[in-house]
Amino acid sequence: MVLQKGCGILHKLVINGGKKISGEIKLQGAKNSALPILAATVLVEGQTVIKNCPELTDIYVASRILTHLGCKVTRQEKETVVVSNNGITCGFISEKLMREMRSSIIFLGAVLGRCGECSLYFPGGCQLGPRPVDIHLSALRKMGIMISEEHGRINCTAPNGIKGAKIMLEFPSVGATENIILAAVKAEGETEIKNAAREPEIKDLVSYLVKCGAKIEFSSESTIRIKGVDRLDGCEHSVIPDRIAAATYLAAAAITDGAVCISGTSQLDASSFTGYFEHMGCSVYICNDKICLKGKNRILPVKSLKTMPYPGFATDMQAIIMSVLCKADGTSVFEENIFESRYKHVDALNMMGADIKVYGKIAVVQGVKKLYGANVEATDLRGGAAMTVAALAAEGTTEITCINHIDRGYEKIDTVLASLGADIKRKPEFQ
């Protein structure tokens, strides 16, 4: 696994565009599922074997946090991580560790559920605007947890134990839903979460916890009930496939008029994203364990794309789909309703010849006939992926720096794309 820390570490992607992306690949496990499951191992006794766990820098950071807390973490095979928990020795996570990963806040609920107290810092990672951590803290307070904040540090204690509660989320936040579940599985009494997030990754976390002995049920699509138990024991669990990575590789084929088949998708909710490619005129086939896409010479525009909580258009796919629609035959309109700073990739795409105008949370994309290579910087995980997709169809050479962002969520993206015919290389940044 390539490990990088910050933009200064010294690798870039060099892409010579114009090659059709065609062939077959196996899909990686879902980052957004593996991370909360790793956090959940804090709550269990003994050994957990996590299969289909992708090799990503975010996974590495989560493993370092677990090690810091007192767990033993090993990668036995390429896709298998083993966590041995024989007792947590620490309820504190340093600012340095928290700043390395945007989703590190998920350890709050897990450590609280295990220790009854937790002290950590606000998370770092991609800067996408304010993340509503207040939603997490408000819910935890209803469970009897006392919280104080000072100089970016969050201190939590449950002097009378964590208590089950009825919680209505003002917004179906994925992170808040996960933190409440993790705090509640060993709490006293029953917790009910209404307006809970409905993402497949939430259901995968619940599936893992139930295997460990948790009592969790979905009483409706957006209501989760958790009855606290005294003990959870480790188990073997396979992480679901990564739907955002799947959309990215389909996008690479779509923008280059290629043809790709992705295997390992049997547990994937493909309907949540394949329809966008069909609207573009691509042919999509789903059969058993595979999703296949055949591109279209001239991409059709999509009139309106509004990011919404699942099962709506995912904010994580916004930049990636936008990169494809840069070459559409007409105008597409995006409305970003989840994060207020998620158009940072637009400047880079415009440098490559795209015609995108941003008006607050609206982005208007006028398709162009050609994109051109440029020197750009990955601003965040999905923005970097969007630049990579655009570069595959651009004339000339594109150099993308700060690829540590991309490595957070894509397992060896350069190797995967090269296997599909891309002219792409990972090189030292200052070469």
Catalytic residue numbers read 126
Contact by Cβ (8 Å): 241, 291: no
Contacts of 240 (CB under 8 A, 6+ apart): 29, 30, 33, 52, 200, 201, 204, 267, 268
Contact by Cβ (8 Å): 300, 279: yes
DSSP 256-319: TT-EEEEES-TT--GGGTHHHHHHTT-EEEEETTEEEEE--SSBPP-S-EEB-STTSB-HHHHH
Element (H, E) at 423: strand 423-428
Rounded distance, CA 50 to CA 73, Å? Answer: 11
The residue written with tokens 């409440």 in the block is 180
HSE-CB for 300 with a 13 A CA cutoff: 13
Type of residue at 250: L
Rounded distance, CA 178 to CA 165, Å? Answer: 15
Rounded distance, CA 151 to CA 246, Å? Answer: 39
Rounded distance, CA 13 to CA 390, Å? Answer: 13
Rounded distance, CA 35 to CA 409, Å? Answer: 11
Contact by Cβ (8 Å): 80, 51: yes
Rounded distance, CA 283 to CA 277, Å? Answer: 8
Would you say the C-alpha torsion 342, 347, 353, 358 has a positive or negative sign? positive
Torsion of CA 48, 416, 258, 373, to 10 degrees: 130
